[in-house]
Amino acid sequence: MIAEMLASIARHGRLALVAGLLAGLTLPDLAAVIRPWLPHLVALLLFLTAFRIGLRQAAGSLAEARSGLALIAVFQLLMPVSALMIFWALGLMATPFAIAVMLMLTAPGVSGAAAFTALLGRDPAPALRLLIAGMAVFPLTVMPILWATPALGNMADVLAASGRLLAVITLASSLGFALRRLIPAPDLRQVDGLNAIALFVIVIGLMAAVGPALRADPVLVLKWLAGVCAVNFGLQIACYMILRGRTVMDPTGPSIIAGNRNVALFLLALPAATTDPLLIFIGVYQVPMFLTPIAMRWLYAPRPDPKVAH
C-alpha cells in the first residue's frame, strides 16, 4: 500500500512542487513552523538523492570529473566576476538586485538540483557531483566577490558557514551511498516519491517570507519575481544550449545548477543589515527554482532517438 502510494506521488512529483509553493504562500503559519527544520530536511533530501544514485554512478568517469571542474570554475568564478564588472560599469554595484545576483552566482548549486533532474527523467548523478564539488571549492571561489565588495560582510563567517554546509552534504551523501551498498536494487519509484514529499515540505518553509511581502507590496514582489525568473531561466537555457553535444555528461543537471544556486547559504553567514534587503530576492527565487521541473520541461524532457526506426 505504501509502495503504491509513493510510486503514485513520484509520478506526480512536479505537481507536488506547485502545491508546496501555493501552500507556502497561503499558509504562513505552517511555513513558519517548517522553516526551523529546513537544514534537517535538506540533509534528508541529499541522503535520499545519494541513495538513489549510488556511489559508483555518482563518481563518474575521469572525463566527466574534468568537465565538472571546468563548469564549476565558470559557474562560481567567471560568472560572478563577469557580473561584478558589468554592474560596476553600469554604476549599479550598490543596488540590492546587483548584490543579490552576484551572491547568487557565487553560490554553489542548490541542494535539490539532483532531485529536480530526477523529476525530469534525466540522470541526476552529474548534478550531485557538481553540488559536492562546488561546495568543496566554494571557500576559494567566493573570495573575489567578498574581496571586491567588503560591505557584504566578514569573509570568515561566510567560510565557516560554507564549511558547515559542506560537512552536512558530505555526511548525508556518505550515509546515502552506504545504504545503497546494503540495498543495491531499490525500487526507485518509491525513492522518487520520498524525494517529492521532501521537496514539497521544503518549498513551504522557504516561502515563509514571500506571503507577507506579497500582501504588503505586491508590485515590488512582482518586479523582483520578473527579475529572478529572467536570470534563473535565462542561465539554464544558455547553459543547456552551449553544453548540448559538447560534453560527455548529460547537460541537464549542470544547466539546472547554472540557474539554481544555494543563495540562502549567505543567510547563515552575512550580517542581518546585509541580508535583510535581499530577503525578497531569496524568497521569490524559490518560485523559478521549484518550478524548474515544470517550466523547463520543454527544454529538458527526454527526446526519442531519431536513429531508432519506427
Mean pLDDT of 97-117: 89
Give the Cα separation of 273 and 252 in Å (integer). Answer: 36
Residue 302 lies in a domain: no
Mean pLDDT of 167-174: 84
Environment class of residue 118 by beta-carbon count within 10 Å: exposed (0-12), middle (13-18) or buried (19+)?
A: buried
Residue 224 lies in a domain: yes
Mean pLDDT of 100-125: 89
pLDDT at 310: 43
Residue 7 lies in a domain: no
Mean pLDDT of 207-228: 86
pLDDT at 130 over 60: yes
Residue 303 lies in a domain: no
Residue 53 lies in a domain: yes
Residue 6 lies in a domain: no
pLDDT at 211: 78
pLDDT at 35: 80
Confidence of residue 305 (pLDDT cuts 50, 70, 90): very low
Give the number of domains in the chain.
Answer: 1
For residue 39, give the nearest of 171, 233, 151 by alpha carbon: 171
CB 78 within 8 A of CB 102: no
pLDDT at 184: 82
pLDDT tens profile 10-27: 887 778 888 888 888 888
Range of the domain at 127: 12-291
Mean pLDDT of 256-265: 89
pLDDT at 288 over 90: yes
Confidence of residue 75 (pLDDT cuts 50, 70, 90): very high
Mean pLDDT of 211-218: 82
pLDDT at 33 over 70: yes
CB 270 within 8 A of CB 155: no
Residue 151 lies in a domain: yes
- Residues whose CB is less than 8 angstroms from the CB of residue 46 and which lie 6 or more positions away in sequence, other chains included: 111, 168, 169, 172, 173, 176
Residue 306 lies in a domain: no
Identity of the residue numbered 108: P
Give the Cα separation of 162 and 266 in Å (integer). Answer: 9
CATH number at residue 18: 1.20.1530.20
Q: Determine how many CB atoms are found less than 10 A away from the CB of residue 78.
A: 12
